[in-house]
Amino acid sequence: MNLPDNAIEAVKLTKTYAGGHGTAPMHALKGIDLAIPRGSIFGLLGPNGAGKSTFINILAGLTKKTSGKVTVWGRDIDHRPRDARAAIGVVPQEIAADVFFTPRESLDVQAGMYGVPGPERRTDALLAALGLSDKANAYVRQLSGGMKRRLMVAKAMVHNPPVLILDEPTAGVDVELRRQLWDYVVGLNRQGVTILLTTHYLEEAEELCDLIAIMNHGRVVACEPKDQLLRRLDTRAVVLTPETPLAAAPALPPFETRLRPGGELAISFKTAEAGVEEVLATARAAGIHFKDLRTEEPDLEDVFLSLTYGAAPEPAEAR
Ligand code: ADP
């Protein structure tokens, strides 16, 4: 069988949630194009409300798309929904453990749901891979939070899918468990499993992913190899407190300027291209006098702003 180049592909994908009780419809995905190459660890980043879960739920068959085309492992979700679903394992954000089952039973039930025949079940191997062998017969309610989360990962892998999706896998997870989870995920990837993970931690994506897409307000605002993206994000800001209030942010090319609500002037620069001295010289040459200054690292919000900066304003009805 020919393997697909892309494990997941979305073309012009939209999702609009109907508004209820007098509220406007919500355009959660506004026509996104995404290709997740086979074999990659792909990070989908974005602030809350960006549309990440909506995208994942469409892939998992839990939410119906409004329009566009989606294929999972080369299988169109409209034409071959069951085959498309069988190609992915999803580790949900919330721990939903079946309290009456032991981990072993829980994996067996899950394998049964996916129609994995007895001899092909990998229950023991999965329990071992996730460090749950000695808890195989314990009640799930006796497991720690970390163990429950590992069990969720094992459940997602019972049918040996070529694509594993993790939705905010380490929200509220301690450092040690995070490490264990990542080791396992990286190991799976080395064996050929394509990994898609959502996160709102830039660090997490930085550490693990080969490719990063950034979503904001239902759009993909960047999708690049990690190193390239990080170079673009390699910005700092000089923040000046002007002697006299400025009416508007002055243009100081090649730097980007923004007047903050309190009257401070933030001037962003790429560290590869300029230093603080040059920024200050440019500001002075433009006749800006200031009584105070500091430098800042950009946070993810600044990054989103800088990536969406200059984009055409959206028509009101598309918001
Ligand atoms: P993210 O996962 O990036 O936080 P979501 O996909 O959950 O984003 O949400 C995208 C937008 O769609 C948000 O504005 C959210 O409020 C809205 N939304 C999500 N699910 C529903 C739903 N079932 N009904 C209506 N609106 C929804």
Using DSSP, state whether 138 is helix, strand or coil: coil
Cα(53) to ligand 1 centroid in Å equals: 7
Report whether residue 49 contacts ligand 1, using a CB cutoff of 6 Å: yes
Between 184-188, 189-193, 307-311, 313-317, the lowest mean confidence (pLDDT) is in 313-317
**Which residue did the predictor score with more confidence, 297 or 150?**
150
For ligand 1, atom 20: residue with the closest CA: 54
Average pLDDT over the chain, rounded to whole? 87
53 lines ligand 1 (CB under 6 A): yes
CA 85–ligand 1 middle distance (angstroms):
21
Q: Are 45 and 74 in contact (CB under 8 A)?
A: no
pLDDT of residue 74: 96
Give me ligand 1 centre to Cα 54, in Å: 6
In the chain, the domains with their CATH numbers are 1-87+161-232+299-319 (3.40.50.300), 95-160 (no CATH), 235-297 (3.30.70)
Residue of the CA atom closest to atom 7 of ligand 1: 53
**β-strand 219-225 against 211-216: which pairing, if any?**
antiparallel
pLDDT band at residue 304, thresholds of 50, 70 and 90? low
- Give the tokens for residue 138: 């314990």
pLDDT score for 314: 46
Q: Give the closest residue to 15 by CA, choosing from 60, 62, 55.
A: 55
Q: In this predicted model, what pLDDT tens digit does every residue of 82-141 receive, in sequence order?
A: 999 999 999 988 777 677 889 999 999 999 999 999 888 999 999 998 889 999 999 888
- b/e string for 62-90 if b means 16 or more Cβ within 10 A? ebebbebebbbbbbebeebeeebbbbbbb
Helix (H, G, I), strand (E, B) or coil at 61: coil
Beta bridge partners of 52: none
Out of 21, 32, 53, give the residue to mutate to test ligand 1, the one with the largest number of ligand atoms within 8 Å of its CB.
Answer: 53
pLDDT of 92 reads 86
Q: How far is CA 220 from CA 30, 36, 94, 194, 308, in A?
A: 9, 13, 25, 20, 10
Residue-wise pLDDT for 249-280, tens only, equals 999 988 889 898 889 999 988 888 889 999 99
What pLDDT sits at residue 227?
Answer: 81
Nearest CA, atom 24, ligand 1: 17
Q: Would the CB of 54 count as within 6 Å of ligand 1?
A: yes
Residue 165 has pLDDT above 60, yes or no: yes
- The token duo for 290 is 């200031």
pLDDT over 80 at 233, yes or no: no
Pocket test for ligand 1, best of 26, 30, 32, 63 (most atoms within 8 A of CB): 26
Please give the pLDDT value at position 312.
Answer: 40
Q: What's the 16 CA to ligand 1 centre distance in angstroms?
A: 10
CB 70 within 8 Å of CB 52: no
What is the mean pLDDT of the segment spanning 62-85?
96
Q: Is the pLDDT of residue 20 over 80?
A: no
pTM of the model: 0.79
> What is the percent of the chain where pLDDT is above 70?
91
Q: What is the pLDDT of residue 97?
A: 66
